[in-house]
Structure 1
Amino acid sequence: MLDKSWLSQAAITLTLSALSLFPSSAKAQVSVSPLIIESKAERGQAQAMITVTNTSNAPTRVRVYAEPFTYNRDSGFEILSSTPTDLTKYLQFSPRELTIKPGESRRVRLISRLAPNLPDGEYRAVIFNESLNETKNSEGNSVALVARIGVTFYVRKGDIAPKLAVSGASFNQAQKQIQLLVTNSGQATARPGVNWTLKRGETVVKTGKLDPASVVPESDRNLLLNYPSKDDPALTPGEYQLSGDLSWGDDRNASKLPFDVNITIPIITHSADNRQIIPGNRR
């Protein structure tokens, strides 16, 4: 039986950007829905369906294939060569290749059959829908364009759940933004959204919201709060307080976790060649 809680389009912004790879000229060839599927295995089996639509004015060929994946602490979505949570070994889908006429849609059926001896836990795969098209370059030569969109498929075996905690906050020097470190010590992925308030003493500096982002089991992930943005003034170095709450799940099984952590905004100086140097972190 499929759990519909993760099929909301409002919850897939980050996944779409992380799993969509295409040159600009191929960007509008296909659309895929849903982009996130979560299912509970019943007697070792789970099923799902994805819809691929040709949004272009020409026939499009699509190849379907699967890879194991995870979400890295700092870099986010990551393809893996192997992992104990690999669903691809137990996943079948049909068709694997299809040609779609302009404006038409085709469905791809997903079926997972977990081995009886597998331990309880979550098994994951990303199903890529790769469109193959040809165009002409500026010199009139034929050029093949490859665009792909990934659907993340989570299958849970047994009575498992996520268990989230906020482990701290820090200032990401590369992105020049505040990030919140979220830990998942449970056995299932959660997609927490974040409501946050940044204060210095009794003064509220900024409030904001962060769209849901995946934190896989037995891992942690730094979630960038997109602050300060390029349009915001730089933060004054010093001590701040970051508070708010994480929220995840659907209306029937909603969870909320408040947090209140301290964060230090460092003093940043520049070297003669304009490289950033953080006092106290020099080698």
Structure 2
Amino acid sequence: MKIPSKQLILYSLSSMFLSTFLLWGNAAKADIAISPLVIEANEKRGQAQGTITVTNRDAKEFRARVYSLPFTYDVETGFQLVDSSPLDLTPYLQFSPRELQVPGTDNRRIRFIARFPPSLPDGEYRAMLFTENLEATIQEEQGANSSVIFKTAIVPRVGVAVYVRKGNVSHNLSVVNARYNPKSQQLQLLVKNTGKASAILQGEWNIKKGDKQIYSGRGMDTTVITQGERYLAVDYSSAAKKIQLEPGEYQLSGSLGWGVNRTNKIPFSVKFIVP
């Protein structure tokens, strides 16, 4: 099942639902924060461990269950949960507590440890560690017919992406191409990772048409998983300045930053066509 990012879990009365790993939207009643959002760890002597902090910013007590699920990133749609994966961390992941109560304006910690058998092949193993509210909030919405009211039970959850690397593994990144969608006016850069470790990248963008500089800026952090490809969004407009790309050939250049503070740089330069 593909899971769109940055939405709420919505369990409707007809049992239809959408889910993701981050709280988002005005419908969320519980003001819950979790940190860090991403954990990258290296296995040492067969194990790796870490700590997650769950903070309740509301005055009301927050009760939640904790569980883990395998996930991946689709080249087009991004984050999605999966039923199984050869790189699933969940069989080796232990965490405590499995249920927690966080008093109002307080926080609690979740401790986890990953234990790998010696026979497990070297590589990167990953899982989402979710904290899900045990109490649903009922939200009413009026349909097109004013006499019809839809009720939806909103169950927010937040999650942390946990990556544990066994052995001496690293990413191997290359830029494939850039594409422009005239309908959505979206520019994307396709990045391929043939290595055995995922990489969190931040793009630095320069767009030129001939000798004319059109745009210069930075993008958001985006994960390109091991043995995968991912389209990175090149957002060349801002709230203060709307840029229209006229038909013609352009050059997109810059670098992909990774590592601590994204100080390691991979330069690139590709061309794309605006029809």
Q: Which category describes the TM-score, using the shorter chain as reference length?
A: 0.7 to 0.9
Q: Who is 1:10 aligned against? A: none
For residues 64 and 184 of structure 2, the distance between their equivalents in structure 1, rounded to whole angstroms, comes to 35
Match of 2:165 among 136, 142, 156: 156
Task: Identify the structure with the greater helix proportion.
Answer: 1
Name the structure 2 match of 1:205. Answer: 214
- The answer (yes or no) to whether the contact 1:69–1:79 under 8 Å persists in 2 is yes
Instruction: Give the deviation of 1:233 after TM superposition.
Output: 4.0
| 8 A contact 2:40–2:163 mirrored in 1 | yes
TM-score normalised per structure 2: 0.83
Secondary structure of 1:81's counterpart equals coil
Unaligned runs of 5+ in 2: 8-19, 142-150
The amino acid across from 2:163 in the alignment is Y
Which of 38, 44, 60 is 1:42 aligned to?
Answer: 44
Q: Which residue of 2 aligns with 1:245?
A: 255
The CA deviation string for residues 38-97 of structure 1, in whole angstroms up to 9 with x for no partner, is 110112111011111111121111111111111111111111111100000111111111
* Residue 169 of structure 1, CA deviation: 0.5
How far residue 165 of structure 1 moved from its aligned partner, in angstroms, is 1.1
Q: Counterparts of 2:173 and 2:106 in 1: how far apart (Å)? A: 41
Which residue of structure 1 aligns with residue 227 of structure 2?
218
CA–CA distance in structure 1, aligned partners of residues 194 and 181 of structure 2? 23
The two structures have a TM-score, normalised by structure 1, of 0.81
Q: Alpha carbons of 1:138 and 1:258: their partners in 2 closer, same or farther (altered >3 Å)? A: closer
Aligned to 2:197: 188
Distance in 2, matches of 1:135 and 1:159, equals 46
User: What is the Cα deviation at residue 29 of structure 1?
Assistant: 2.6
> In the aligned structure 2, how far is the partner of 1:136 from the partner of 1:196?
43
Letter in 2 for 1:235: L
Q: Matches of 1:106 and 1:209 in 2, distance apart?
A: 34
Correspondence for 1:176:
185
Which runs of 5 or more structure 1 residues have no equivalent in the other structure? 1-14, 267-283
Percent of aligned pairs with the same amino acid: 45
Structure 2 distance, partners of 1:258, 1:137, is 48
Q: Across the two proteins, how many residue pairs are aligned to each other?
A: 249
**d(CA) in 1 for partners of 2:49 and 2:192?**
29
Counterpart of 1:235 in structure 2 is 245
Correspondence for 1:107 among 106, 109, 112: 109
Match of 1:59 in 2: 61
